[in-house]
Structure 1
Amino acid sequence: MLQLNSSARLEINMPLHEWLPLLLDGTLVTVQVGILSAIVSLLLAVGAGLGSLSRYAIIRAIAKAYVEIFRACSLLVLMFWVYFALPFLHIDLPKLMAAVLAIGLNIGAYGAEIVRSSVAAVSKGQHEAGIALNLSGNKRIVRIILPQAAARMIPPFGNLMIELLKATSLVYFITLSDLTFAAMILRNNYYIWTPHIFGLLLLIYFVLSSCISVTFRLLERKLTVWR
């Protein structure tokens, strides 16, 4: 049934079961991008965070350069550059890979500072205790420093992962069929009533963010049992 609203735009009253599957497909893409980007960003965060504390000047310089460059970049511009500019250098990435790389590079730079500050916050007495036990540098890091630093990292990393989830909505601009893209398709092509579609969009993002929040709270509780 067609009706004319106050803005003189045609709206179509489509049953929920006809357009909800498109949103669910978009949600799956959003979750996929979020998980892959989280893996990339966590790997980069740990590598750059520990690298910035390395005894070797060249490693510290590379880690700090990565953090400063990609933390200062606009994520949307970075995504455009990875997807639209790299092909001019004969590096043509699929949409999913371009989105994951851009988000991972940007969020990983923020995560690196979390790792660096958490490791640096572990007291020097813990380092000295490892030396007294005749542990090598790598064993001190793995067995003593990182377990204590990980407990400090969990709350800020939880916030960062929620920010990452919200950042996935930017993949709409490179026409990757995520949740936001699906909502815009329904709004523009099928004329689903705007408050309905965007209200449901907010609800889905809220549910996904809540799942991340609960997961990190449980992880924090598990990792702080020793306290």
Structure 2
Amino acid sequence: MFDYWLQWMPLLWKGLVTTVEVTAYSAVLALLLAVLTGICRVSRFRVIRGLALLYVLTFRGIALLVLLFWIYYVLPYMDIELSKTMAAVLALGLNYGAFGSEIVRSSILAVPQGQWEAAKALNMRPFERMFRIIFPQALIRMIPPFNNLMIELLKASSLLYFIGLADLVHQSNVLRGLYLQQTTQIYLTLLIIYFILASIISYAFRLLERRWSAGRL
């Protein structure tokens, strides 16, 4: 088995690098969209709330695979041609950003009303109230659900195989074609790699939660 792993390593490494890169870029985009949209969802301006809700309803309601196909295969007909990596990052980021925005919105609304009233009593402007008082407290509540969301994003990156991106799934299927007798071992290796990546994400978020929760009740 170890000898086979040595033969598979070059292809699996290329797939691992692609998967990690796409997951990382998509996670950054998703988190930025989630925070921006989540804050807009609690805005006092109806237009801003409406636009944010439209984004959430649209991209939360579209199947990720369909969105991926649409961005990669349909946009070129509108003279918007993206690379496979860019299409993957955009699809994953838009989709999971919509789900993440609900985490942000609910976490902000979960901050005790007394904190909002205290910030108003200090004569803080809305921007100051949000980013100096409310958002830091909401951030602690966001970490566990964002942990789950990022793991789901990692697993969803396996769909990139359908647009021909050379990720872990693609490279595993290439190996299966070369080593048909070792199909079980190849896909077992794939399962182990995804499990390790998910465990790393979970550990990183636990460290964040422990650090940011220090000294808080």
Gaps of 5+ in 2: none
Please give the per-residue CA displacement for 1:83-103, whole angstroms capped at 9, x wherever unaligned.
000001110000000000000
- Distance in 1, matches of 2:166 and 2:49, equals 38
Q: 1:88 aligns with which of 77, 90, 94?
A: 77
Per-residue deviation at 1:189? 3.8
Gaps of 5+ in 1: 1-13
Alignment coverage as a number of residue pairs: 215
Q: Does 1:66 align with 2:55?
A: yes
Report the 3-state secondary structure (helix = DSSP H, G, I; strand = E; otherwise coil) of the residue aligned with 2:80: coil
Structure with greater helix percent: 2
Please give the per-residue CA displacement for 1:75-118, whole angstroms capped at 9, x wherever unaligned.
00100000000001110000000000000000000000000000
Percentage identity across paired residues of the two chains = 53
Report the 3-state secondary structure (helix = DSSP H, G, I; strand = E; otherwise coil) of the residue aligned with 1:184: helix
Please give the per-residue CA displacement for 1:153-186, whole angstroms capped at 9, x wherever unaligned.
0000000000000010000000000111100111
> 1:5 matched to which residue of 2?
none
> 1:217 matched to which residue of 2?
206
Report the 3-state secondary structure (helix = DSSP H, G, I; strand = E; otherwise coil) of the residue aligned with 1:15: helix
Q: Mapping of 1:1-227 within 5 angstroms? A: 15-191=4-180, 193-225=182-214, 226-227=216-217
The farther-off stretch of 164-173 and 189-198 is: 189-198
TM-score relative to the length of structure 2: 0.96
Asked if the contact 1:186/1:192 (under 8 Å) is kept, the reply is: no
Asked if the contact 1:107/1:160 (under 8 Å) is kept, the reply is: yes
Report the 3-state secondary structure (helix = DSSP H, G, I; strand = E; otherwise coil) of the residue aligned with 1:55: coil
TM-score relative to the length of structure 1: 0.92
Per-residue deviation at 1:190? 4.2
- Distance in 1, matches of 2:123 and 2:60, equals 38
Per-residue deviation at 1:15? 3.4
Q: Which has the larger radius of gyration?
A: 1
Q: CA RMSD in A?
A: 1.3
- Distance in 1, matches of 2:5 and 2:137, equals 49
In the alignment, residue 108 of structure 1 is paired with which amino acid?
Answer: G
Asked if the contact 1:34/1:164 (under 8 Å) is kept, the reply is: yes
Report the 3-state secondary structure (helix = DSSP H, G, I; strand = E; otherwise coil) of the residue aligned with 2:180: coil
- Distance in 2, matches of 1:146 and 1:192, equals 54
